Chain A
Amino acid sequence: MKVFHHTCFAMGTRFNLVIPNMEKERGEDLANKATRILNEQEAIMSSYREDSEVFKINRYARQQKVKLSGELFEILKTCDQYYKKTRGAFDPALLGVTSIIKSTSNSQQSHTDLQSIASGWKHVLLDTNSATIKFTGGKTGLDLGGFGKGWAMEKIITYLMAEDIESAFISFGESTVSVIGEHPLGGPWQTTVPDIHNYNSPLDLDLVNESFSISGLKIKTGENENRKSPHIFNSGEVSIVKEDIRILVKSKSALEAEVLSTALLAGNFEKKNQILNTFDEISVFECGLKGWHKK
Chain B
Amino acid sequence: MLEQNRRAFLRNSLLAGTAVLTPFSLMKLLAGEKGKIISPNDKIHVGIIGTGSRGHHLAYLIKEYGHEIGMEVTALCDVYQPHLDHTHAMIPEAKTYKDHRKMLEDARELDGVIICTPLFVHAEPTIDALETGLHVLCEKAMERTLEATYAMAEAHYRTGKALHIGHQRLFDPKFLRGMNKVYEGDLGKVTQIRAFWHRNNDWRRPVPEDQPELERFINWRLYRDYSCGLLTELASHHIQVANWVKKDIPVDVRGTGSISFWKDGREVEDNVALIFTYKDGTQFIYDSMIQNRRHGLEVQVLGHKGTLELETNNFFLEDPPPQKPAGIIQLLHDLEENVLGKVPIGSSSWDPEVAMTYKGEPIVPENLTDGTWEQFTGFAKAIREDKPIPGLFEEGYYGSIWTLLGQQAIDSGKVIQIPKKYNISKFLM
Task: Give chain A's interface residues, CB within 8 Å of chain B.
Answer: 1-3, 5, 7-9, 12-16, 18, 20, 169, 171, 173-175, 177, 183-187, 189-194, 196, 199, 202, 204, 214-216, 218, 221-224, 227
Q: Does B327 contact A (CB under 8 A)?
A: yes
For this complex, 30 residue pairs linking A to B, each with C-beta atoms less than 8 Å apart, are A2-B336, A5-B328, A5-B332, A7-B324, A14-B325, A16-B328, A18-B328, A18-B335, A171-B327, A171-B345, A174-B345, A174-B346, A175-B353, A177-B345, A184-B335, A185-B338, A185-B340, A190-B340, A191-B327, A191-B342, A192-B345, A193-B345, A194-B348, A194-B350, A214-B352, A215-B353, A216-B352, A216-B353, A221-B351, A224-B354
Give the tally of cross-chain contacts (CB within 8 A): 101
- How many Å lie between the Cα of A183 and that of B332 in the bound state? 12
For the complex with contacts A7-B324, A204-B342, A214-B352, 14 further pairs of A-B residues with Cβ separation under 8 Å are A1-B336, A5-B332, A7-B321, A14-B356, A171-B325, A174-B345, A183-B340, A190-B340, A193-B345, A194-B350, A215-B353, A218-B351, A221-B351, A222-B349
CB–CB A7/B342 < 8 A:
no
Residue of B nearest to A214 (CB): B352
Residues in B with CB closer than 8 Å to A202 are 344
CB–CB A174/B350 < 8 A:
yes
- How many Å lie between the Cα of A200 and that of B355 in the bound state? 26
CB–CB A14/B347 < 8 A:
no
The contact of B352 among A2, A174, A199, by CB within 8 Å, is A174
Chain A nearest CB: distance from B316 CB in Å?
15
Residue of A nearest to B324 (CB): A7
CB–CB A1/B353 < 8 A:
no
Q: Does B4 contact A (CB under 8 A)?
A: no
Residues in B with CB closer than 8 Å to A9 are 319-322
CB–CB B325/A174 < 8 A:
yes
Residues in B with CB closer than 8 Å to A221 are 349, 351
- How many Å lie between the Cα of A185 and that of B342 in the bound state? 13
- How many Å lie between the Cα of A9 and that of B320 in the bound state? 9
Query: Provided the pairs A18-B328, A171-B325, A190-B340 are in contact, do residues A13 and B345 lie with their beta carbons within 8 angstroms?
Result: no
Residues in A with CB closer than 8 Å to B355 are 12-13
Chain B nearest CB: distance from A23 CB in Å?
14
CB–CB A215/B352 < 8 A:
yes
Q: Does B331 contact A (CB under 8 A)?
A: yes
Residue of A nearest to B340 (CB): A185
- How many Å lie between the Cα of A246 and that of B177 in the bound state? 45
Residues in A with CB closer than 8 Å to B336 are 1-3
Q: Does B211 contact A (CB under 8 A)?
A: no
Residues in B with CB closer than 8 Å to A214 are 345-346, 352
Q: Does B341 contact A (CB under 8 A)?
A: yes
- How many Å lie between the Cα of A12 and that of B349 in the bound state? 19
CB–CB B342/A20 < 8 A:
no
Chain B nearest CB: distance from A219 CB in Å?
11
Q: Does B260 contact A (CB under 8 A)?
A: no
CB–CB B351/A16 < 8 A:
no
Mask, B182-202, CB within 8 Å of A = 1, is 000000000000000000000
Mask, B350-392, CB within 8 Å of A = 1, is 1111111100000000000000000000000000000000000
